[in-house]
Amino acid sequence: MTPPRTPAPAPKPAKGAAPAKGAAPTKGAAPAERAPRTTRSKTEPSTTHAPRRRESLHVFRADTPPAPENPLRAGTRLERIPGPCIVVVFGATGDLTQRRILPAIYNLRRAGLLPPESAVLGFSRRPLSDDAFRTMARAAVDEFSRMPLEKALWDDFAQGIYYQQGNFDDPPDFKALVERLEQIDAERGTRGNRLFYLATPPSAYTEIVDSLGKTGLDRQREGWVRIVIEKPFGHDLESARALNDSVMRVFDESQVYRIDHYLGKETVRNLMVFRFGNGIFEPLWNRRYVDHVQITVAEDLGIEGRGEFYEQAGASRDILQNHMMQLLSLVAMEPPIAFEADALRDEKVRVLRAIDPVWTDARARANVVRGQYIAGWSADHPVVAYRAEEEVSPTSTVETFVALKLEVQNWRWADVPFYLRTGKRLPKRASEIAIQFKQPPLMLFRDTTADPEPNLLALRIQPDEGILLRFAAKVPELGLEVRSVNMDFTYGSSFMKDAPEAYETLLLDAMLGDASLFTRADEVEAAWGVVSPLIDIWHEWDATDAAESADPTDPSAEEEVCFYDAGTWGPQAADRLIEHDGRRWRRL
């Protein structure tokens, strides 16, 4: 007799799934619903700096993409989507908003990375209606966006664009702003999430922050509140500390996002992946194998009508204190304990603090070159000298070029020089980090016609973003001929995908609450701690020259400011600076 069959067991419900209707709950099963997580206000103690779970910071879209044609692009569709929010742009009619911020927000929406409920509220002194600001925004996106404007998408996107006229220090105008934000919250369902963006001159930062605090717009009630502050963050160490104090009186550090668009560039972001995601480079990334490091930020343009600004800033404040110090810290930092904002920024601050901040007269003369361009040629047309530019003093000693030698005084980098140079009116626009390695301890191939050049790793930040590795190889012919060859990787040809603009990356991260690519208060002050004393030395030299000479343009002043023809790679003194150590600048 055939024994009766035992009925197959019922399939177990998926983990976390609710039991079927009428079924008894299984032992140990998770409840069908969880109590909603409460949002703590900014004023509640012991929550501001508590570590958050990853899922509370990032939301991932889990749809599976079709099989990509290019294998290098496999897995690149994992995207982070923030919650809906209102982006409040102070200085909404300014150049930065039109050229960068509005196109970036539109491209995030076009890429599906910005919820359709999100809104943009422009705030500025100019009287405009919502429709007039939408017209202005459309013209800006049409002209400056890296992606073409799609009419259907724009019509939907524009419904969430608003404008509020007001002065930055007027309490009634900010009370009206509070009412407008509450109205937009109700209309769009943005849940009280607000991102304030200061796209104004730095002189207005304190006024805006104070006004936000007085009206309670800094408080996180229903949703989150964050503020993005553009560079320059102060004009020296003292002013940076004062600005930090003003901001910290209103906002918590976790709410503040000090933006440097260089950190949003793909090659800069990839530097950390290149170093810490590969096992072959990090063991060589130290004083035992690295001879020296060069960091170049070159611009072929002049000051482009910004004479008044540049007379106050110069290359040291405009590029050296922020962009170049950030690049140096990323190259020299130790591996962080986790890929998290504070862990990354802790290591960057340690690098900056390992640079000697004491600039004596002798050290400045030996390790720094300050230059200024004179009339010359840019591409195929003549250009005027810096002193002949609009809004520039005819006796100005402001630097348009800086080259300097720094050392990071820690165990990894002791005795490895870092050579930095930046300038206006150079032959081409190029930014690059070049790590040159030491020669082998014994040159075995002395019978070749020429010794190969030292191994070099170059990370091109702009243009043609990519990575180049130079090494020695034998020429495929009879005999033993050794030459240097290049292995070159470029993002465009490898991934066949347009890289996002830096502002798109940084705006998205700010909405997500990821501060990894933004600078912290102590990081800003550490960078100023290196650059500000050098600027003070220059001011002392200029004051001495002015007292000793009635004509600051006479040859005696050239020892302090080295002139160079527009369209060249800077003053000859910059070449002597590096050649004194038996090295030379890399040709770009």
pLDDT at 551 over 80: no
Q: What is the pLDDT of residue 28?
A: 42
Q: What is the pLDDT of residue 33?
A: 42
The terminus-to-terminus CA distance of the chain in angstroms comes to: 90
Determine the length of the chain. 588
Contact in structure between 289 and 487 (CB atoms under 8 Å): no
Better-scored residue on pLDDT, 237 or 27: 237
In terms of average pLDDT, the best of 183-197, 301-315, 467-481 is 183-197
Q: What is the pLDDT of residue 268?
A: 83
DSSP states of 485-496 as a string? EEEEEEHHHHH-
> Does CATH number 3.40.50.720 belong to domain 86-230?
yes
Give the closest residue to 321 by CA, choosing from 352, 298, 292, 342. 352
pLDDT single digits (tens) 253-300: 999 999 998 888 888 888 888 888 888 888 999 999 999 999 999 999
pLDDT single digits (tens) 70-96: 444 444 444 578 999 999 999 999 999
- Dist CA 462 CA 451 (whole Å): 30
Residues 6+ apart with CB under 8 A from 374: 385, 386, 387, 563, 564, 565, 566
- Dist CA 470 CA 74 (whole Å): 28
The identity of residue 451, as a single letter, is D
Categorize the per-residue pLDDT at 449 as very low, low, confident or very high, splitting at 50, 70 and 90: low
Q: What is the pLDDT of residue 19?
A: 43
Q: What is the pLDDT of residue 452?
A: 72
Whether 261 is catalytic: no
Q: What is the pLDDT of residue 471?
A: 83
User: Where do the structural domains in the chain lie, given as residue ranges?
Assistant: 86-230, 264-440+496-502+522-579
Contact in structure between 228 and 198 (CB atoms under 8 Å): yes
Sign of the C-alpha dihedral computed for residues 346, 349, 351 and 353 taken in this order: negative
Categorize the per-residue pLDDT at 547 as very low, low, confident or very high, splitting at 50, 70 and 90: low
Task: Taking residues 20-44, report their average pLDDT.
Answer: 42
Cα angle at 558 between 557 and 563, to 5 degrees? 135
Are both 86-230 and 264-440+496-502+522-579 of the same fold? no
Task: Taking residues 196-211, report their average pLDDT.
Answer: 94
Task: Taking residues 240-251, report their average pLDDT.
Answer: 95
Quickly count helices (H) and strands (E) in the chain.
17, 17
Q: What is the pLDDT of residue 184?
A: 95
Of the candidates 49, 261, 323, 580, the residue annotated as catalytic is: 323
The identity of residue 79, as a single letter, is E
Better-scored residue on pLDDT, 493 or 101: 101
Contact in structure between 556 and 549 (CB atoms under 8 Å): yes
pLDDT single digits (tens) 339-368: 889 999 999 999 999 999 999 999 999 999
In terms of average pLDDT, the best of 133-137, 218-222, 458-462, 463-467 is 133-137
Categorize the per-residue pLDDT at 338 as very low, low, confident or very high, splitting at 50, 70 and 90: confident
Give the SS3 label for residue 326: helix
The C-alpha R_g of the chain, in whole angstroms, comes to 28
Neighbouring C-beta atoms of residue 161, cutoff 10 Å: 24
Better-scored residue on pLDDT, 238 or 72: 238
Give the closest residue to 259 by CA, choosing from 323, 313, 212. 323
pLDDT at 232 over 80: yes
CATH, domain 264-440+496-502+522-579, list 3.30.1380.20, 3.10.105.10, 3.30.360.10, 3.60.10.10:
3.30.360.10
β-pair partners for 466: 460, 490
Q: What is the pLDDT of residue 192?
A: 92
Categorize the per-residue pLDDT at 446 as very low, low, confident or very high, splitting at 50, 70 and 90: low
Q: What is the pLDDT of residue 306?
A: 85
Q: What is the pLDDT of residue 61?
A: 36
- Dist CA 37 CA 56 (whole Å): 10
Q: What is the pTM of this model?
A: 0.81
Task: Taking residues 454-474, report their average pLDDT.
Answer: 87
Residue 86, phi-psi category: left (phi > 0), alpha (psi -120 to 50), beta (remainder): beta
